[in-house]
Structure 1
């Protein structure tokens, strides 16, 4: 079984782990390097739903690679679908929401905000779409880079649902029909743990 809980008959899981180990060995040792290595290894081996360059602009992606993996040939991480231009405003709103929870913004925080917002465009759990290996990985990224956002999700709602709920609340849109989460029929869909 792979770390995503799926049996990989085609050897992709082994290739992903090999790319991950190589990236870790070539890492400059900065914080967040492990999370970037996981996402990049997944992107290179066909896991997740991330667009080209993890959703970053070419210059941002080059800066990310130079900072974290300066000796790595980044060309194998460029492939992927293009960002959906019809969802650009949605991505920008998610990015802005995420960045409002950053006390001291840096380039690294901006990269993660862009990548998290791009990951929200996928159709599965955020951790899966990002190419991370578990929900705990997303929580670790958010806790490290956006601790105020992590603190706000004090009931451990699934991250993609939480982010969209925050957008709705910010705009005064209340999409949930139940008066509270505890009495909602979808409670398990929003709060049940996934691996």
Structure 2
């Protein structure tokens, strides 16, 4: 499927999810369209998120019931293993959350889970674009989003923040501007 077809299918799936009824609090949550995009991507076979989005069956059922009432529930196989640093990544995100919506904690869990994937974070999340991931970060984790002043790729940025907090420095150069891998960390993602 070419990019235009993929984007059209994704947009239609998101529109269908947003047309579903939801609880009152979910209607005004800025995460609802972002969660719809995650679910749309997942249902189109994109990304690396498990059926429970990394939330666990009970929490995923709550999300679907409150935000997309009537959506058919996926089969929930036993939860997949998480990367060893999952709880540290989740804590990093949770510590920087905006504090406006309970769904921010769900998003922290989902992002930490998607960090196990091999692609760019927006792709591992099943989102339509990196811009959508940047919006998700600004809405949910504004201080982290503001700290990404060089537009570093999000997964690299999160791991760099986590490593810096732990006092682990794996970059060979004293600053990003002189590193031979600069282009791998910064710039556009296709």
Q: Would you say same fold, with TM above 0.5?
A: yes
State the 4+ residue runs in structure 1 displaced beyond 3 angstroms: 12-18, 78-82
Find the aligned partners of 1:160 and 1:81 in 2 and give their Cα distance. 26
Contact 1:43 1:131 in 2 (8 A): yes
- CA deviation digits over 1:123-148, x for unaligned, max 9? 00000000001111111001011111
Q: Equivalent residues in 2 for 1:27-176 (5 A)?
A: 27-28=21-22, 29-30=27-28, 31-75=30-74, 78=75, 82-85=79-82, 87=83, 89-104=84-99, 106-176=101-171
- Displacement, 1:17? 4.1
- Displacement, 1:70? 1.4
Find the aligned partners of 1:54 and 1:190 in 2 and give their Cα distance. 26
SS of residue matched to 1:54: coil
TM-score by length of 1: 0.85
SS of residue matched to 2:52: helix
- Displacement, 1:71? 2.6
**Corresponding residue for 2:3?**
2
- Displacement, 1:52? 2.0
Cα separation, partners in 2 of 1:170 and 1:179, compared to 1, 3 Å? same
Cα separation, partners in 2 of 1:81 and 1:134, compared to 1, 3 Å? farther
Contact 1:52 1:81 in 2 (8 A): no
Structure 1 unmatched ranges of 5 or more: none
User: Greater CA deviation, 35-44 or 114-123?
Assistant: 35-44
Contact 2:10 2:128 in 1 (8 A): no
- Displacement, 1:156? 1.0
CA RMSD, aligned part only?
Answer: 2.1
Find the aligned partners of 1:93 and 1:185 in 2 and give their Cα distance. 28
Find the aligned partners of 1:190 and 1:149 in 2 and give their Cα distance. 16
Match of 1:24 among 12, 18, 21: 18
Structure 2 unmatched ranges of 5 or more: none
